Structure 1
């Protein structure tokens, strides 16, 4: 094992903190990288409560997704997603229904900085929570500084536009620090609060 650390994030929706996410990242000697993620959100309205949770694992090697397993619960609506790399593509199962997608998908956990050759390209995206196939064009915005644990940290910002509207910031370890997206008219912000090594 080469590297193992976890990242803690807070999640805000429309400017109000609503939940947390953790990512456990492992890189092995053979080049295999694993991300185990867990997220929870809750909304309490006067006459309505909404709960969301998601837990999953991604295994990558040489920039390609090898395996994915995820379970998500959208206020009682449940999704079980499995994916495994085949020779030419990716086999997917969503709640027992099989489908296929491109081998070089980028999963919408976005935990790892994209490879330079993908900038300016239209990417095949795979949403782990519901198993949806999406697409979007990736652009590199440039260098910025973000606060982390009372220090300023260098970050590289990217944008994806298409089926998704997402801005992403990565640190010098090429790992996700911040994500801003617009979903169903709501602004979602994921911010790194702590790295535990």
Structure 2
């Protein structure tokens, strides 16, 4: 469960493609999820949006703790900040503490593509095809295709991509996204929202829901032990 949870958090947490235009941007200043494992709350995933003229800053904060018998068995903290200029992705910087293993990442859109500089002390064995991590001999600086989006998940355009930037470890995650139709989801307050469900396969395996305004409103995935991790919107 731990390795799958680590991967999912890094993908959730944290290229150049059109974001929603400023005039119809669907989010308010803050957008917060509570995360649950088999119905038990393990933390929060928060987004904040700040607009200054054509510039938009998107800040991500993730704080999780998985407990057993009163003891914290696993802890995950992630901070990220994206900069957009109008509809153009400019840069992202993240810091992650994955249960004591630390990563930093900086990515910037440049004429030749998305330049990624990453650092981390996680060089353990590769345990899954989608756990790129920092293997021995792996380059710490790479250039990804210009249309690569970061995996911060608030941007509806992500569901149109075939590859996305893992914002923890800097790997390029190859994905296939399949629309699953309309569903009604519940927020923490019991409010009902009509949303479209998208299923991810490949290097990311999860379900994600966007409402009619284009807001990310729910997520769900399975941990390797079969437990269910759910994001519930706090509104």
> TM-score, normalised on structure 1?
0.84
**In structure 2, do the counterparts of structure 1 residues 95 and 168 end up closer, same or farther at CA, with 3 Å as the change threshold?**
same
Q: Is 2:227 the counterpart of 1:191?
A: no
Once residues 77 and 87 of structure 2 are traced to their aligned partners in structure 1, the CA distance between those partners, rounded to angstroms, is 27
Contact 2:149/2:158 (8 A) holds in 1: no
How far the C-alpha of 1:56 sits from its partner, in A, is: 0.5
How far the C-alpha of 1:48 sits from its partner, in A, is: 6.1
Pick the structure with more strand per residue. Answer: 1
Q: Return the match for 2:195 from 155, 161, 165.
A: 155
Unmatched runs of 5 consecutive residues or more in structure 1: none
Q: Is 2:187 the counterpart of 1:144?
A: no
Aligned equivalent of 1:49: 73
**In structure 2, do the counterparts of structure 1 residues 48 and 20 end up closer, same or farther at CA, with 3 Å as the change threshold?**
closer
> TM-score, normalised on structure 2?
0.71
Once the two structures are superposed, residues 31-71 of structure 1 have per-residue CA deviations (whole angstroms, 9 ceiling, x without a partner) of x4432110111123357632110011122356553200110
Correspondence 1:31-180 to 2 at 5 A? 32-46=55-69, 49-61=73-85, 64-95=88-119, 97-114=140-157, 118=160, 123-148=162-187, 149-180=189-220
Once residues 136 and 28 of structure 1 are traced to their aligned partners in structure 2, the CA distance between those partners, rounded to angstroms, is 33
Root mean square deviation of aligned Cα:
2.5
For this pair of structures, how many residues does the alignment match? 189
Q: Return the match for 1:24 from 48, 52, 56.
A: 48
Aligned equivalent of 1:181: 221
Q: SS of 2:104's equivalent?
A: strand
Q: SS of 2:232's equivalent?
A: strand
How far the C-alpha of 1:85 sits from its partner, in A, is: 0.2
Once residues 28 and 175 of structure 1 are traced to their aligned partners in structure 2, the CA distance between those partners, rounded to angstroms, is 20
Once residues 87 and 213 of structure 2 are traced to their aligned partners in structure 1, the CA distance between those partners, rounded to angstroms, is 15
Unmatched runs of 5 consecutive residues or more in structure 2: 1-21, 121-139
Pick the structure with more helix per residue. Answer: 2
Contact 2:105/2:169 (8 A) holds in 1: yes
